[in-house]
Structure 1
């Protein structure tokens, strides 16, 4: 999965135009890709737009919620569950 593209999309979603937070955001994006593949067993397809956008949205949420103890938003939970179900069936979304 292209972390640079995830970073770019997450920054667009957050409205960040500078590179000041790139190191931190890139670390979040890399951690998310690793978590999804290693812990959740999801084989991310770099050519699948829904996989790419989920990673970007998840990165943006993790960045925004770094100081809060709130739960993951429902739309991200649903998308994550769908990815996990598809991974369990061996299919792709």
Structure 2
């Protein structure tokens, strides 16, 4: 998965125009990708825009909720379950 593109999209979503938080955002995006591949069993496809947008949305939520203990939003849970089902892993 193209981490650079994902980081740029996350920055756009958050309205960040500088490179000050790039290292932190890159770590979040890489962590999300690793989690999806290793823990959830999702085979991410660079050419699949659905996968890229899910990574961006998930990373954005992680960034915004870093200091809270709230549950993952329902729309992210639903999309994650769909990705896992398509990967044959089930929720």
Q: 4+ residue runs of structure 1 moved beyond 6 angstroms?
A: none
Name the structure 1 match of 2:33.
33
Q: How many residues matched?
A: 89
In structure 2, what is the Cα distance between the partners aligned to 1:46 and 1:9?
14
Q: Which runs of 5+ in 2 are unaligned?
A: none
RMSD of aligned alpha carbons:
0.9
Shift in Å, 1:60: 0.5
Name the structure 2 match of 1:68.
68
In structure 2, what is the Cα distance between the partners aligned to 1:46 and 1:78?
21
Name the structure 2 match of 1:15.
15
Shift in Å, 1:36: 0.3
TM-score between the two structures when normalised by the length of structure 2: 0.95
Shift in Å, 1:56: 0.5
TM-score between the two structures when normalised by the length of structure 1: 0.93
Name the structure 1 match of 2:45.
45
